[in-house]
Amino acid sequence: MGSARSDAPGNSSDDGLLAAFKIVIAGGFGAGKTTLVGAVSEVRPLRTEETLSSGSIATDDLGGVGNKTTTTVAMDFGRITLNDHLVLYLFGTPGQERFWFMWDELSYGALGAVVLADTRRLDDCFPSVDYFEKCQLPFIVAINCFDGAPRYDPRDVRVALDLDLVVPVVACDARERESVKQVLITLVEHVLASRPAPAGRKAATGTYGAAPAAGTYPLASAPGLERPIPARVDRRPAPA
């Protein structure tokens, strides 16, 4: 691939955009993802219409794909300019399960993820938690405090979601810019903390993020091992 002006993506300064980061905003349907993105984005939450495949196309590399139709996905994204060479993008995951493949694309190379939880439907965020655990992407859980929704102690939510102890759980109001800012700060702090400690500035090659520091991600250190999901489902908090 031809490279233009700068050949060293890691080095800073220079003109215009230098580093772009993405953060994935996940959570169940109606958990407030769009609201959260909108609260901090400098652009209106834009929606990128993604045409996945088109039935009108006669190229031959679509072999094996049965009854394909044109499908359109709306994807929320927001943009935050941090300084003259750092831009942060927030991508909301598509809610429908049939678009799960898009999660891979959104998560690949992402800094981390925020799982937005609605305490009225806490089980909606199980798939997100499972997903990020499986792909070893650092994530935090943000409880969106809806008006009138039962308030739980973040500790109870942690138990209900069967989260690893290192995963931060915070309460937030997805409508409030300051609150969302705090959520993002918590995530980046978590990402920093969960970096493999001594490997400091050596960029990991190959799979995502090298080996986690011992004890940081017990689950992640044994990728084949998954937590039994029934336990997670059973341990939901009793209403306060």
Partner 1 sequence: MPRGDKWSDRYAGPVVRPYALTGGRTAPARGEVLDLIAIVATTEPAERENDSIDLTPEDRRILGLCLKPVTVTDIASATALPLGVIRVLLADLIARDRIGVLQQRPPGGQPSADLLKEVLHGLRTL
Q: Which residues bind partner 1 (CB under 8 A)?
A: 1-6, 9-10, 12, 15-22, 40, 43, 46, 48-54, 56-59, 61-62, 77, 79-80, 82-83, 86-89, 91, 105-106, 108-111, 181, 184-185, 188-189, 191-192, 195, 200-201, 203-210
First to last CA, the chain: 57
Nearer Cβ to partner 1 (43/149): 43
Nearer Cβ to partner 1 (28/78): 78
Closest CB 221 distance from partner 1, rounded Å: 17
- The C-alpha atoms of residue 76 and residue 67 are separated, in whole angstroms, by 27
DSSP per-residue string spanning 23-37? EEEEESTTSSHHHHH
Nearer Cβ to partner 1 (21/146): 21
**Interacting residues of 25 by C-beta distance below 8 A, sequence separation 6+:** 33, 36, 37, 76, 90, 91, 92, 93, 113, 114, 116
160, containing H or E segment: helix 154-160
Closest CB 186 distance from partner 1, rounded Å: 10
Nearer Cβ to partner 1 (185/229): 185
Closest CB 225 distance from partner 1, rounded Å: 21
Closest CB 6 distance from partner 1, rounded Å: 6
Closest CB 53 distance from partner 1, rounded Å: 6
- The C-alpha atoms of residue 92 and residue 136 are separated, in whole angstroms, by 18
Closest CB 96 distance from partner 1, rounded Å: 17
DSSP one-letter code for 205? -
- The C-alpha atoms of residue 180 and residue 23 are separated, in whole angstroms, by 13
DSSP per-residue string spanning 92-116? EPPSSGGGHHHHHHHHTT-SEEEEE
Closest CB 94 distance from partner 1, rounded Å: 13
For residues 77 and 89, the answer to whether their CB atoms sit within 8 Å is yes
Nearer Cβ to partner 1 (7/147): 7
State both tokens at 224: 């084949």
Nearer Cβ to partner 1 (52/214): 52
For residues 52 and 65, the answer to whether their CB atoms sit within 8 Å is no
Nearer Cβ to partner 1 (62/229): 62
